[in-house]
Amino acid sequence: MDQIDRFFLLGQCKVNEHSSIKCIKKSPDEENMQKLTKIVNPGDPHTTYVLQEIIGKGGFGIVYKARNEHTKKMVGIKIIKLKKPVKEEVLNEVIVMRENRHPNLVNFLDSHVVEDNLWIVMEFLGGGTLCDIIINTVMRERQIAVVCREILQAIAFLHSRGIIHCDIKSSNVVFGMDGSVKLIDFMTCKHIETVKKCLSVMGTVYWMAPEILYGIPYDTKVDIWSLGIVVTEMVSGELPFLSETYFFDYQWMQLTNKELRTKDNKTISLVLQDFLNECLELNTDKRSSAENLLMHPFLQTDENISLIKNLIRLAKRKTRIRN
């Protein structure tokens, strides 16, 4: 069975909106808890932070908007229930955030263990997620280019440090009200400094690269595939879980010569089509790297992040009306 046949056969499997596959070798609970205790700050965060409304939920925890009582500034706090055994993903979240600073990664501020909960304090980004913008607006190509450029800068930085994000998706891209674009959620990150290619299955299925699903050794190129799926979201205005077959739609379009169309039923430009081809290439040797994609003509624009501000406002307005 060739690679394409396996790809479409796999498409018969049904998964739900929140399906994620993670097979990571667990370390002993005591060892992980000791590591965690050493890297968090002592003290009770309740004396510093006042939790307000919930602004996000995920498989590992809840994110709150909170106020620092000393500085009066708003922060985001992710609270993770520490289950036994303490998983390596929990350590990943803290370690990757603490040790990797970049303008396109959410800024780590503090961390605490409170009873059986881990508190991770980070900068507050009030612009919502890329998922919100995709659902509530129509994104033009120059706006898509700016968002892609900012995401790729974060991906290229992580890759340069030997880190695969492994869960690039629209809900893991967040915005500041100034239009700044930042990548979040580092629990599924994989370090590749000790191995050439990885086999652990991790990520969210709809954005997951085919080589992960096939059980083929993979590397940093999986993040590029996931970015390609995010681009198709921005173009079409649809989230993958709205259709069981969406996960495979782009390759189907390639094989049948159908065109990817925008939310308002327009065809995309040749330069954007080429950018997508570079991301969604089944052959990993031919799939582009983050550094090379940053030089792609599609991203060579003078536009800056301020171009995104109107989309953020529109998405927030529509969300308020709907609620």
Catalytic residues: 167
Contact between 192 and 198 under an 8 Å Cβ cutoff? The reply is yes
**If you ran DSSP here, which 8-state letter would residue 302 be given?**
-
Geometric angle at alpha carbon 305, from 300 and 307, rounded to 5°: 90
Residues near 192 by beta carbon (within 8 Å), at least 6 away in sequence: 162, 163, 164, 198, 219, 220
Chain centroid to CA 114: 27
Amino acid letter, 310:
N
Amino acid letter, 105:
L
For residue 287, the number of C-alpha atoms closer than 13 Å in the C-beta half-sphere is: 22
Residues near 235 by beta carbon (within 8 Å), at least 6 away in sequence: 139, 144, 260, 261, 262, 263, 268, 272
H and E: helices and strands count for the chain = 11, 9
Burial class of residue 156, CB neighbours in 10 A (0-12, 13-18, 19+): buried
3-state secondary structure 166-201: CCCCHHHEEECCCCCEEECCCCCCEECCCCCCECCC
Region of 175 please: left (phi>0), alpha (psi -120 to 50) or beta: beta
Tokens in use for 232? 């198709």
